Structure 1
Amino acid sequence: MTHTAVGKPADAAPGARAEAGTPKLKLSGLHKSFGSKHVLNGLDLEVGRAESLVVIGGSGTGKSVMLKCALGLMHPDSGSIKIDGEETANLRPRDRERVMRKFGMLFQGAALFDSLPVWENVAFGLIQGEKMSRGKAREIAVEKLSAVGLAREVADLFPAELSGGMQKRVGLARAIATQPEIIFFDEPTTGLDPIMADVINDLIIKCVKDLGATALSITHDMASARKIADRIAMIYKGKIIWSGPVSEIDNSGNPYVDQFIHGRADGPIQMEVMQP
């Protein structure tokens, strides 16, 4: 059974119907500091329509802060965040809610609600955000669980009864339940064994393709990045220092990228870490 997209208001605000050449997501000159710690230092990044972009980088380089700013969970100190050409960095709450309906999110630890059965976790955005009836929301939840390879019986289980891989699948089902235009993936394969990680990668590719969605992922898992990305960008010290097609990652000509993708202890990143 196929359902039409939900949460796409007919009276979309200016910028929602953007020109064909407009990036789906554009971050420009983003700065974000926490006290004396400068996390984002003029970050620039574009993601095209229906493109899968993976941002790689080590811990503490600004990946998660960048993602939270793009989602509107965190406000940058300065800079621009455009969705379909519409500036969203300082939206009013009502407009923020409208823009948020375009997003789906797969959190690093799945972030499921322990007290809710699986189907209510998947349908959370439909019931709470779209005010959909519980019956219809459950129907869609079961459909999305099937899309990520989980049987109907799983719908009535609780998160604690699931394996880590199953929880990640439920998180993915929730991310696609509202048929979002943009999906964010936060370390989608963390904590999974290599085989299950590859299963999740395949599901991400399938779900994003089926929706025709734009995907922005952050990860340090190069196997995952190589598989799900159309394009890869590397963040270092709060800036994008390289970006290009996934096919060019092994010949980037950038010593920071080269060190990171090969996991070498020696290189410019290590030298920076060792400084007092």
Structure 2
Amino acid sequence: MTNDATPMIALEGVSKSFGRKHVLRGVDLIVPKGTSMVIIGGSGTGKSVTLKCVLGLVEPDAGTIRVDGRDMHEGDRDAFLARFGMLFQGGALFDSLPVWQNVAFRLLRGALKRPRREAREIAIEKLRRVGLTPDVADAFPAELSGGMQKRVGLARAIAADPEIIFFDEPTTGLDPIMAGVINDLIREIVTEMGATAMTITHDMSSVRAIADHVAMLHDGVIKWTGPVSEMDSAADPFLQQFIHGRAEGPIAAVR
């Protein structure tokens, strides 16, 4: 039995190594329901591996992961994955499919399958929600700008009205203005849907725009976590070096 006090996502002691490379060394993290958690940290610190562990794409070596109070391995796998939506870094659209089929990809197959006409209508509705007109539906990804492709990716992430949405570097490759547009859309949509969001990014403007809570991941462990409102005043030296982009500090520059 779960309730509103049960975290939507809870990681305890999660560790993962690839050969001799220890990526996660005991990650503890709580993501309350209906909140936006942003994980920050440098490249190669384990942010993407953390998301993949929650989704079950990577099996942790140790630790537990619970989603809405249940171990992620319990129950039907398809039903588990149906709770998630994801905006991939770079969009990850299918070049050979028109935009509407990209958006409705999950609605055209598997456990969430809908009639083709209904799936198209839903896709057009979601495209409209991210600021794209219905005529975009029959275009192909290569015909769109980078910002439009990112919006299509966002429409796909919310097409099945998921409870949990993951955002992987949502503003990578975008100019500052379009990055701001995408950040605003993410914030609005997550709030409207009442979804739980988990984002990984190194873009501090994204952090300030979309986060309720922030977690600093370094060397495979969470160094600091707390409300975004407390981030700037926190005493943690790893966090302060990262958010201010300082060369000097406990985080060594990769050469």
TM-score with structure 2 setting the length = 0.97
SS in structure 2 of the partner of residue 227 of structure 1: helix
1:169 aligns with 2:181: no
Q: Could you tell which deviates more after superposition, 195-204 or 241-250?
A: 241-250
Partner of 2:93: 112
**Aligned equivalents of 1:29, 1:198: Cα separation in 2:** 35
Give the deviation of 1:78 after TM superposition.
1.3
Measure the CA separation in 2 of the matches of 1:116 and 1:108.
19
Corresponding pairs, count: 254
Matches of 2:5 and 2:191, distance apart in 1: 20
Does residue 236 (structure 1) correspond to residue 218 (structure 2)? The answer is: yes
Q: Specify which of 207, 211, 215 is matched with residue 189 of structure 2.
A: 207
- CA distance, structure 2, for counterparts of residue 20 and residue 111 of structure 1: 33
> Are 1:72 and 2:53 counterparts?
no
CA distances 1:207-248 after superposition (whole Å, capped 9, x unpaired): 111111000000000010011001111000111110111111
Tell me what 1:38 maps to.
Answer: 22
Looking at structure 2, the residues matched to 208 and 33 of structure 1 have their Cα atoms a distance apart, in angstroms, of 32
- The residue number in structure 2 matching 1:269 is 251
Residue 83 of structure 1 pairs with residue 28 of structure 2: no
1:96 CA drift (Å): 1.5
Aligned match of 1:29? 13
By how many angstroms is 1:265 displaced? 1.0
Among residues 170, 174, 186, which one is paired with 2:168 in the alignment?
186
Which of 97, 112, 117 is the aligned partner of 2:78? 97
Offset, 1:131: 1.7
Which ranges of structure 1 fall in alignment gaps of 5 or more residues?
Answer: 1-14
Specify the SS of the correspondent of 1:81: strand
Greater Cα offset, 18-27 or 144-153? 18-27
| Rounded Cα–Cα distance in structure 2 between residues aligned with 1:244 and 1:23 | 15
Identity percentage of aligned residues: 64
In structure 1, the partner of 2:204 is 222
Instruction: Supply the AA of the counterpart residue of 2:105.
Output: F
SS at the partner of 1:203?
helix
Query: How far does residue 127 in structure 1 lie from its aligned partner after superposition?
Result: 1.0
C-alpha offsets along residues 29-55 of structure 1, whole Å, 9 cap, x if unaligned? 101000000000010111011000100
* Residues 140-155 of structure 1: pairs in structure 2 closer than 5 A: 140-155=122-137
Structure 2 unpaired stretches of 5+: none
- For 2:5 and 2:230, locate their aligned partners in 1 and report how far apart those are by CA, in whole Å: 24
Aligned twin of 1:197: 179
1:91 Cα offset (Å): 4.6
- Paired with 1:239 and 1:217, the residues of 2 have a C-alpha distance of 17
* Alpha-carbon separation, structure 1, partners of 2:198 and 2:218: 17
